[in-house]
Amino acid sequence: MNYLYLKSLHIIFVTTWFAGLFYMIRLFIYYKEAENKPELEKDILQKQYHLMLKRLWYIITWPSAILTFIFAALLLHTQPIWLSTNWMWIKLGFVLLLYLYHFSCQHMVNQIEKGTLKYSALSLRIWNEVATILLFAIVFLVVLKNSLGWIFGTLGIVGISILLMLGIKLYKRIRDKRSWDK
């Protein structure tokens, strides 16, 4: 298969995989927040969220993760020289972390299948940002490759992480203030 077709398919499935991961956590948050609703509303919402996340997870997210892996392997097969570069091994390390993140989401799906989700909405919001940090790290690493200095890259990821956490805290304050005003 032509290198550019492989690369295009890899990018498409990386994109759909991340979209699935981002939306899954939002569904987990909505599912968790529905626990605070009156019983009838809670049952209706959780049933709907469960259906949505099951479809998203098994029809979009898992297949995208598998196809991302397949096209990445094919790309590495066509470009084996990449395996001799530092940036590729660092990228593969981040990708491994992303797959571990994916498996942790599977654990949460399994919990919902059993009728419970053992994480708070706030911890899920924070967990959602892990995928964002990995996305930034992987994209910058792939685009900048060896021109990205270790110190700059590390400081950039730490800076992005701090900004995301501050954003979550600000959102929580605004949300708590709005619920207090009602």
**Per-residue pLDDT tens for 120-157?**
988 898 898 899 889 988 888 888 776 656 556 666 77
Distance CA 14, CA 66 (A): 10
Q: Is residue 91 annotated as involved in ligand binding?
A: yes
Q: Which residue has the higher pLDDT, 1 or 113?
A: 113
Is pLDDT at 158 greater than 80 in this prediction? no
Instruction: Provide CB contacts within 8 A for 168, sequence distance 6+.
Output: 122, 125, 126, 129
Q: With bands split at pLDDT 50, 70 and 90, how would you rate the model's confidence at 1?
A: low
Q: With bands split at pLDDT 50, 70 and 90, how would you rate the model's confidence at 169?
A: confident
Burial zone of 143 (CB within 10 Å; 0-12 exposed, 13-18 middle, 19+ buried): exposed
Q: With bands split at pLDDT 50, 70 and 90, how would you rate the model's confidence at 113?
A: very high
Is pLDDT at 63 greater than 90 in this prediction? yes
CA of residue 138 relative to chain centroid, distance: 12
116 φψ region: left (φ > 0), alpha (ψ -120 to 50), beta (else): beta
**pTM of the entire structure?**
0.83
Specify whether the CB–CB gap between 111 and 77 falls below 8 A.
Answer: no
Q: Is residue 32 annotated as involved in ligand binding?
A: no
Q: What is the pLDDT of residue 97?
A: 94
Query: Among the listed ranges 11-25, 36-50, 91-105, 123-137, which one has the minimum average pLDDT value?
Result: 123-137
Q: What is the pLDDT of residue 54?
A: 96
Q: With bands split at pLDDT 50, 70 and 90, how would you rate the model's confidence at 179?
A: low
* Domain assignments of the chain as residue spans, ordered by start: 3-181
